[in-house]
Amino acid sequence: MSSRNLLLLSNSTLHGSGYLEWAAQHIKEFLGSKNVKRVLFVPYALRKMDSYAESAQKKFTSWGFELDSIHKAQDPVAAVNDAEAIFIGGGNTFQLLKLLYDHSLIEPIQKRVLQDGIPYIGSSAGTNVATVSINTTNDMPIVYPPSFSAMALVPFNINPHYIDANPSTKHMGETREERITQYHEIPGSPPVLGLREGSLLHVTGQKVILKGLHPARLFRLGKQPEEFPLDTDLSFLLD
């Protein structure tokens, strides 16, 4: 796993800014450090893939990178095998994972990222599928993938768009923390990192650093939730 290079974003769009703007510098430095010229985009999390890919292409082109969308490739597996870098965007996690299975892309992406070391960027749903499973996604199961097991590019789960409980609200539904705690009633369930809006993980080999705008909240089986500030080394999550 020493060649692993991941940038895992909680979200693509932050309130008051445009698509990927909050993470622009992180993405450009991440890809530039690996001399990436062309990015393979996976738009499977949304149904309107043409317009989704067009938005991603405009943004990456403005940064000086070329971008191809896998949904236009005749052979998606070959496209992954030829990719310099992979970016999987947000949308519905269940739909995204189903199409990754349908196109037999789980193992090819795992190999390219974990063995070949090509850069991987995930945002929201694209971050969910980079983890052990999609059991801690916030999305509705609009389709049914063959399994909830994801690509396990990291050995823990993430809850993108993590929201803290508001003590002044009159809403009596479950909080995000309560739902994750319920997930941890399952024996052997992995840690879950709550990534707030505007936060990301930079994973290089066996090193994990929290970046972005906000601290993260970590949930582990049998332990109280913990808060970790920006720039914290979370490499222990890879153990």
pLDDT, tens digit, 9 for 90 and up, residues 6-36: 999 999 999 888 999 999 999 999 999 999 9
Please tell me the pTM assigned to this model.
0.95
Q: How many CA atoms lie within 13 A of 180 on its CB side?
A: 30
Mean pLDDT on 51-76: 97
Number of domains in the chain: 1
Which tokens go with 107? 């193992």
Strand, helix or coil at 162? coil
CA distances from 231 to 64, 121, 201, 202 (A): 27, 19, 10, 10
The answer on pLDDT for 1 being more than 60 is no
Query: Can you give the CATH number for the domain in which 197 is found?
Result: 3.40.50.880
Domain, as residue range, for 143? 5-238
Q: What's the chain's Rg over C-alpha atoms? A: 17
pLDDT, tens digit, 9 for 90 and up, residues 38-62: 999 999 999 999 999 999 999 999 9
Q: Tell me what pLDDT residue 155 has.
A: 97
- Report d(CA 3, CA 120) in Å as an integer: 11
What's the CA dihedral at 125, 131, 133, 137 to 10 degrees?
A: -40
pLDDT, tens digit, 9 for 90 and up, residues 103-131: 999 999 999 999 999 999 999 999 999 99
- CA 127, 132, 136, 141 torsion-angle sign: positive
Q: Tell me what pLDDT residue 3 has.
A: 83
Q: Identify whether the C-beta of residue 26 lies closer than 8 Å to the C-beta of residue 202.
A: yes
The answer on pLDDT for 171 being more than 70 is no
Residues classed as catalytic: 124, 139, 161
Residue type, 26: H
